[in-house]
Amino acid sequence: MAKLLALSCWRSLSPRPHYPSMPKYPKGESVATVQELSESTAVLSVVGMSCAACAGSVEKAVKRLPGIREAIVDVLNNRAHVIFYPSFVNVETIREAIEDAGFEAALLTDDKKSVQVCRIQIKGMSCTSCSSTLESVLQALDGVLEARVGLATEEAQVHYNPILLTTNHILQAIQDSGFEAQLISSSQDLSKIDLLVEGDITMKLIEDSLQTLPGVLAVDITTELNKISVSYKPDVTGPRNFINVIHETGNGNFKAKIYPTEEGQRDSHRRQETKQYYRSFLWSLVFTIPVFLTSMVLMYVPGVKDSLDAKIVNMLTVGEVARWVLSTPVQFVLGWRFYYGSYKALRRGSANMDVLIALGTNAAYFYSVYSVLRAATSPHFEGNDFFETSAMLISFILLGKYLEILAKGKTSDAIAKLMNLTPDTAVLLTLDGDGSVVGEEEIDSRLVQKNDVIKVVPGAKVASDGFVVWGQSHVNESMITGEARPVAKRKGDTVIGGTVNENGVLHVKATRVGSESALSQIVRLVESAQMAKAPVQKFADRISKYFVPLVIIISFTTWLAWFLAGKYHAYPKSWIPSSMDSFELALQFGISVMVIACPCALGLATPTAVMVGTGVGASQGVLIKGGQALESAHKVDCIVFDKTGTLTVGKPVIVRTELLTKMVLQEFYELVAAAEVNSEHPLAKAVVEYAKRFRDEENPSWPEARDFVSITGHGVKASVHNKEIIVGNKSLFADHNIAIPDDAEYILAEAEKMAQTGIVVSINGKVAGVLAVSDPLKPGAQEVISILKSMKIKSIMVTGDNFGTASSIAREVGIENVIAEAKPDQKAEKVKDLQASGYTVAMVGDGINDSPALVAADVGMAIGAGTDIAIEAADIVLMKSNLEDVITAIDLSRKTFSRIRLNYFWALGYNLLGIPIAAGALFPSTRFRLPPWIAGAAMAASSVSVVCCSLLLKYYRRPRKLDNLEIRGIRVESSSDI
């Protein structure tokens, strides 16, 4: 299978390759007409791009606009260079398109410095209003280029200019806004380690020693903690070298080890917050239950009622005083968090859920205080308090927050499981000059460095990415790729860190460690996806800006309407309960409206579903890059497939050789292999591999090829043993005026009918032989296309191979529409044509030659395997080679968006139905009213129900049709099998 370009989503290693632009012209305008128009050029700064995949998203968003002639996105310099026709599009529209894709954009007026990214844990957010306000605060900071705040994740991701701003400034701004903030990670930490130094320490001496070590970029010392932070190049050095240098510097008097960190920092915070709410809820019950009993139960028990009604001063009763005393700690001690939250929100100029709770409980509490004080000072006034309303309201809200945090914690289980895959220790082998093992040592897995050789025993986890240098076994990679079957490994095969060795001992040479490992990349990709907002979430963000003020207005209007109706006798007095008057009835309606409305449910509807959906996808080997990809994928009704490496295995093999001249087959293949060995083309590699069968050695040396020329898309030309060798397709021979005999034409035609690729070989200008190369069809490809048809999704194949071979493959899998001999830009043009026809198009390819089409498509799906994670241009990465994952990705996106719609329906319907009922809409006809404490319980339950609805996605199972699809293994013969 064609290898996919592996790029870390956080490490911009190289500028993104420029793909040919495919301008989308306005309808009704011909290309000639548009080209006559004047062009304009705009250079925009684009912040938030952390890898080439981000650049692909920006390029895709811009190129979809009408009137765009060219768009080039530079991920390293965070710029977009756009050539456009101002008659059809302007800079502001381009800027908005980039922002709609999830990035910040501005017309570039001066040079921007490099951008860094940090992730911050935030405590104290209660609803969407908090997250939206905090985003505004962060984006207002000078130097902050983009800020995303996730309510469900309780984290912020900030892109900033390190010259203008530091992480400490960002943390301080968050704290000044009334939230608690703690740094989780930053771009600088990707190749940085903290060491604890023990002994009679001379920090300056250690610092000087470390700085002389090759590959060390910076050394920071925290003397009071005996901590040394070292930033380094992982390709050159590593933490074990630092520890050795420190040990040698002090002649054994200094000892160093990795600085102990709190395991599961985010989980620890969540556990702590859960315990706080649980304790607060239990304490609230201690006070609230007696209040409830004295106001609603014991009042009907003879004897006890008389004691509670006993007068203390004037009309002040024992029961009223008891309820006052018991409810006060609930209101001001246990409910202090709502006062504090309200203060912070109002100070920021916004209003959140805490404001509604504080207003509702204060109205009930202070009216009750007024009633009690008036009863104490009047010989005739009989007070009627609502202390049970405020106490029970706070208790139920505390219970709701406790359940909500428990539920939200489960939405990030996928990341927690991924992070726990790395083993704690590894067995480091010491080798002599001949490669023989002379010793082994158990070390902390974080001390593994590049090029170390690690011993992996049966049942142990692989400590880092690498390749097998000795041994053979089967490795369970299901936790990374979702592939259920153990994968056979032998010398030369790659392994992934975090996977489990099953039944044999392996010696693995580490190639990627720490933040470079596939597991670390996947974790960062999933974390980034969970922070990214789906476009549909804008709906909730818009509502949240006006939700709380609107609820306050409705609540006040409700109270005023019922109060005036009672004062002017608009309803019979019999409607008023015996325990209250018209004012108190109106007050209860107003409080109920205020506390039943819940902006939290709306804010959690999308992010919780996206978090669970992306997590479930990662566990099944389908990496979805956030809400944008999910939202687009669920609309897909047309899929464009590449052939080589997508519908086929991508490992071509020689299946037929026909010599047209008298010569020994071994001599023939020696000449052909000598010419092809310098080519990187998959067909050339297949020829060389087949030629090895005529040699006894594993890695034979071929004759020298002089004057080697590779003709892209055609073949190669070289001189071997003073003979001119040409290997390629028919068009190459036509260019060189070499006639192809009829028997060769017949063999080529026969090969095409059998879905094989024909290769012609000439020696000294005469055709000497024809090779037929077959690329096996992937297991289950035909069944997958059939299932897509049943899902009403159109399938098209676009390939650069010849029409005969492409047609044969298409017929075999059941695809009717075929486009052959297509160049990369032509594939992208086909995608755009389908989009213009009204289709939502997904492109499935190998992530290299198909990059332009992956960028142009609504959803780009890259086929990958193991550490070859394609994250350059795709929106969705299918880590296994199985085509069935295309169906899984689309089905999962549909299920996730179905859950998002259900969440919105529930959250909006809940408020639209609950507010009128709380306002007394049913009271005139049924005498049914919603007491404030029940309204508060219902409000708390709404957030919990939305989160639980999203959590049901954890039980997602791929379509049953795929369970009946037997994915058979394909064995490609190699030289070692001969």
pLDDT digits (tens, 9 = 90+) for 112-145: 345 677 888 888 787 777 777 788 888 888 878 8
Measured between alpha carbons, how far is 258 from 446 in angstroms, rounded to an integer? 8
Please tell me the least confidently modeled range out of 27-31, 138-142, 410-414, 601-605.
27-31
Q: Is the pLDDT of residue 716 over 80?
A: yes
Instruction: Give the pLDDT confidence score for residue 745 in this predicted structure.
Output: 87
User: Which CATH number describes the domain made up of 626-648+779-886?
Assistant: 3.40.50.1000
Give the strands of the sheet with 494-495, arranged side by side.
Answer: 437-444, 425-431, 453-456, 506-512, 465-470, 494-495
Measured between alpha carbons, how far is 319 from 291 in angstroms, rounded to an integer? 9
Report the percentage of the chain scoring pLDDT > 90: 6
Q: Is the pLDDT of residue 36 over 70?
A: no
Q: What is the dihedral of CA 85, 89, 90, 95, to 10 degrees?
A: -120
Instruction: Give the pLDDT confidence score for residue 776 in this predicted structure.
Output: 81
Contact 269, 179 (CB under 8 A): no
The SS3 of residue 456 is strand
Instruction: Give the pLDDT confidence score for residue 561 in this predicted structure.
Output: 93
Indicate the pLDDT class of residue 548, thresholds 50, 70 and 90. Answer: confident
R_g (Cα) of the chain, nearest Å: 35
Sign of CA dihedral 614, 617, 619, 625: negative
- In terms of Cα–Cα distance, which of 566, 462, 551, 565 is closest to 510? 462
Q: List Cα–Cα distances, 817 to 422, 814, 863, in angstroms.
A: 46, 9, 21
- Non-local (6+) Cβ contacts of 139 within 8 A are 104, 146, 147
Work out whether strand 155-160 and strand 144-150 pair parallel, antiparallel, or are unpaired: antiparallel
Segment 841-860 mean pLDDT: 78
Instruction: Give the pLDDT confidence score for residue 189 in this predicted structure.
Output: 54
Indicate the pLDDT class of residue 267, thresholds 50, 70 and 90. Answer: low
Distance of CA 328 to the CA centre of its chain: 46
Residue, of 224 and 182, whose pLDDT is higher: 182
Domain ranges of the chain: 40-108, 116-186, 192-260, 266-421, 449-512, 522-625+887-977, 626-648+779-886, 653-774
Instruction: Give the pLDDT confidence score for residue 329 in this predicted structure.
Output: 94
Measured between alpha carbons, how far is 570 from 567 in angstroms, rounded to an integer? 8
Number of neighbours of residue 442 by Cβ within 10 angstroms: 10
Phi and psi, residue 601, nearest 5°: -60, -40
Phi and psi, residue 213, nearest 5°: -75, 130
Q: Is the pLDDT of residue 823 over 60?
A: yes
192-260: same fold as 116-186? Answer: yes
Measured between alpha carbons, how far is 433 from 72 in angstroms, rounded to an integer? 50
Number of neighbours of residue 511 by Cβ within 10 angstroms: 18
Quick: pLDDT tens for 506-528. Answer: 999 888 887 777 777 777 777 76
User: Which CATH number describes the domain made up of 449-512?
Assistant: 2.70.150.10
Q: Is the pLDDT of residue 243 over 70?
A: yes
The SS3 of residue 212 is coil
Number of neighbours of residue 169 by Cβ within 10 angstroms: 15
CA angle at 947 for the pair 942 and 950, rounded to the nearest 5°: 130
Quick: pLDDT tens for 751-789. Answer: 888 878 888 999 888 888 999 888 888 878 888 888 998
User: What CATH architecture does domain 653-774 belong to?
Assistant: 3-Layer(aba) Sandwich (3.40)
Q: Quote the tokens at residue 83.
A: 């050539």
Indicate the pLDDT class of residue 867, thresholds 50, 70 and 90. Answer: very low
Distance of CA 550 to the CA centre of its chain: 34
Q: Is the pLDDT of residue 621 over 50?
A: yes
Give the strands of the sheet with 40-47, arranged side by side.
Answer: 68-74, 79-84, 40-47, 104-107
Q: List Cα–Cα distances, 603 to 102, 125, 128, 252, 648, in angstroms.
A: 18, 11, 5, 57, 44
Instruction: Give the pLDDT confidence score for residue 870 in this predicted structure.
Output: 43
Indicate the pLDDT class of residue 892, thresholds 50, 70 and 90. Answer: very high
Q: Is the pLDDT of residue 107 over 70?
A: yes
Q: Quote the tokens at residue 909.
A: 């319907």
Quick: pLDDT tens for 674-686. Answer: 888 887 777 888 8
Domain 192-260 in CATH 3.40.50.800: no
**833 carries an active-site annotation:** no
Q: Which residue among the candidates 385, 452, 642, 850 is catalytic per the annotation? A: 642
Q: Quote the tokens at residue 357.
A: 């709770």
Q: Is the pLDDT of residue 367 over 90?
A: no
Work out whether strand 794-798 and strand 817-819 pair parallel, antiparallel, or are unpaired: parallel
Segment 368-395 mean pLDDT: 81
Determine what percent of the chain falls in helix, strand and coil, rounding each to the nearest 5.
45, 20, 30
Segment 261-270 mean pLDDT: 57
- Beta strands (DSSP E) in 669-764 are 705-711, 715-720, 723-728, 757-763
Measured between alpha carbons, how far is 821 from 12 in angstroms, rounded to an integer? 33
Per-position DSSP letters for 923-969, written without gaps between them: HHHH-----HHHHHHHHHHHHHHHHHHHHGGGG----HHHHT-----
Q: Quote the tokens at residue 220.
A: 């920071």
CA angle at 349 for the pair 348 and 353, rounded to the nearest 5°: 85
Domain 40-108 in CATH 3.10.450.50: no
Q: Is the pLDDT of residue 558 over 80?
A: yes
Q: What is the dihedral of CA 551, 553, 557, 558, to 10 degrees?
A: 10
Segment 908-925 mean pLDDT: 88
Contacts 24+ apart (CB under 8 A), 249-253: 249/205, 249/206, 249/209, 250/199, 250/200, 250/202, 250/205, 250/206, 253/199, 253/200
Quick: pLDDT tens for 278-319. Answer: 899 999 999 999 988 888 777 777 777 778 888 888 888 888
Instruction: Give the pLDDT confidence score for residue 279 in this predicted structure.
Output: 92
User: Which CATH number describes the domain made up of 116-186?
Assistant: 3.30.70.100
Instruction: Give the pLDDT confidence score for residue 512 in this predicted structure.
Output: 81
Please tell me the least confidently modeled range out of 311-325, 590-604, 636-650, 878-892.
590-604
What is the residue whose two structure tokens read 């979805």? 624
On average, the pLDDT of the chain sits at 79
Measured between alpha carbons, how far is 446 from 464 in angstroms, rounded to an integer? 9
Per-position DSSP letters for 422-446, written without gaps between them: S-SEEEEEEE-TTS-EEEEEEEEGG
Most confident of 115-124, 417-426, 739-748, 878-887: 739-748
Contacts 24+ apart (CB under 8 A), 365-368: 365/327, 365/331, 365/390, 367/584, 367/587, 368/323, 368/324, 368/327
Number of neighbours of residue 139 by Cβ within 10 angstroms: 15
Question: What are the b/e assignments for 774-810, b being 16+ CB within 10 Å?
Answer: bbbbbbbbbbbbbbbeebebbbbbbbbbbebbbbbbb
| Residue 179: burial class (beta carbons within 10 Å; 0-12, 13-18, 19+) | buried
Indicate the pLDDT class of residue 149, thresholds 50, 70 and 90. Answer: confident
Please tell me the least confidently modeled range out of 19-23, 140-144, 693-697.
19-23
- Non-local (6+) Cβ contacts of 231 within 8 A are 188, 191, 192, 216, 217, 218, 219, 220
Phi and psi, residue 954, nearest 5°: -60, -20
Instruction: Give the pLDDT confidence score for residue 582 in this predicted structure.
Output: 85
What is the residue whose two structure tokens read 């209101």? 331
Instruction: Give the pLDDT confidence score for residue 835 in this predicted structure.
Output: 87
3-state SS string over 481-541? Answer: HCCCCCEEECCCCEECCCCEECCCCEEEEEEECHHHCHHHHHHHHHHHHHHCCCCCHHHHH
Per-position DSSP letters for 565-608, written without gaps between them: HHHTT-S-GGGS-TT--HHHHHHHHHHHHHHH--HHHHHHHHHH
Instruction: Give the pLDDT confidence score for residue 408 in this predicted structure.
Output: 67
Distance of CA 887 to the CA centre of its chain: 19
Measured between alpha carbons, how far is 680 from 661 in angstroms, rounded to an integer? 28
The SS3 of residue 73 is strand
- In terms of Cα–Cα distance, which of 101, 104, 102 is closest to 46? 104
Measured between alpha carbons, how far is 878 from 859 in angstroms, rounded to an integer? 12
What is the residue whose two structure tokens read 């700085």? 211
Distance of CA 460 to the CA centre of its chain: 28
Helices and strands (DSSP H and E) totals, the chain: 32, 36
